């Protein structure tokens, strides 16, 4: 249980550190292609010409950076 708690604390800390950059990236994309929140997913994907929602793409890219997660932990193992 403690290892799970430590993992989630680390995730919260990393997300808090990355939040300003993520918000800036989402805001800049929204200004180019319209809102990405509060609209149907299909509409967002059509307007942006994407297969994956921009927000999900930005978040996964941030999590996949080498300096974000020191240890690779499977979410399914928690």
Task: Please give the pLDDT value at position 41.
Answer: 86
Task: Please give the pLDDT value at position 68.
Answer: 58
Task: Please give the pLDDT value at position 69.
Answer: 57
Question: Is residue 75's pLDDT more than 80?
Answer: no
Q: What is the pTM of this model?
A: 0.41
Map out the domains of the chain as residue ranges: 2-73
Q: How do residues 18-67 score in pLDDT, each as one tens digit?
A: 888 888 877 776 666 666 678 888 888 888 788 988 788 878 887 777 66
Question: Is residue 77's pLDDT more than 60?
Answer: no
> Shortest CA distance to 33 belongs to which of 23, 43, 18?
43
């Amino acid at each position: 249980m403690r290892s799970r708690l430590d993992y989630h604390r680390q995730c919260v800390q990393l997300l808090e550190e990355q939040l300003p950059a993520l918000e800036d990236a989402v805001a800049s994309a929204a200004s180019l292609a319209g809102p990405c929140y509060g609209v149907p997913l299909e509409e967002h994907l059509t307007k942006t010409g994407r297969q994956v929602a921009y927000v999900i793409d930005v978040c996964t890219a941030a999590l996949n950076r080498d300096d974000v997660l020191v240890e690779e932990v499977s979410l399914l193992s928690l």
